[in-house]
Structure 1
């Protein structure tokens, strides 16, 4: 089930969903009254939305680019981008709207994202 073609198609789907929900979050950050955000929350939400949009576009490109040929590092890196993006953005959105800083979700997601892009780089070096 977790084969290369399945995962690359899943990355395209997740990327498209990240971009779609990022567009929704962009509209919310632009139009919601300040009362819906914690102090500084609008800027935080906008930063999360930017990250979500870029990672979504990258996932679609990754899925399309690896549809024919891949390796384990590229598969692992792509999965990490999906998980890391979700955790990072969810943590930042939570803080932006509630002001709650007690969670380690955003830094964990960010660390997973960084590591995943390094794994992808290693996978592309191996593939070359």
Structure 2
């Protein structure tokens, strides 16, 4: 599964860089200050968790077991839900209800699983 986490981390990183470029050059003409701030926070979370997925890929390959893979799943699904909710609100003015908070909880759970995997032999 470590290759899946590496792939998803690389795709998320690519997306974060592309969105960051658009946010710097194209978005200011189209979005208000609140939406730009939300977009920036979404991109930041996407970038950090792209790196987290790459780290999980390396750790899962070395350590093995279900905890690193559970962390990867939490990061991947959490990224989709959290960033998807933030982007829907910032770019489309659409509220997707509890999607972002659920995604944020999954991201935190991913970090907890990664921490637990570091303590397990």
Matching residue of 2:12: 18
Candidates 22, 39, 44, aligned match of 2:38: 44
Deviation at 1:112, TM superposition (A): 0.7
TM-score with structure 1 length normalisation?
0.85
Question: Quick check: 1:38–1:95 contact (8 Å CA) kept in 2?
Answer: no
Unaligned runs of 5+ in 2: none
**CA separation of 1:88 and 1:33: change in aligned 2, threshold 3 A:** closer
Correspondence for 2:104: 110
Query: Which segments of 5 or more consecutive residues in structure 1 lack a partner in the other structure?
Result: 1-6
1:97 and 2:91 matched: yes
- Partner Cα distance (2:53, 2:24) in 1: 25
**Offset of residue 99 of structure 1:** 2.1
Q: When the two structures are superposed, what TM-score results if normalisation uses the length of structure 2?
A: 0.90
Q: Give every structure 1 segment of 4 or more consecutive aligned residues whose post-TM-superposition deviation is greater than 3 Å.
A: none
Rounded to whole Å, the distance in 2 between the matches of 1:75 and 1:97 is 32
Between the two proteins, the alignment pairs up a number of residues equal to: 121
Name the Cα RMSD after superposition. Answer: 1.6
Q: 2:5–2:54: 8 Å Cα contact kept in structure 1?
A: yes
Q: Deviations over 1:66-119 (max 9, x none)?
A: 213312122111111111011111110111112223422111100111112112
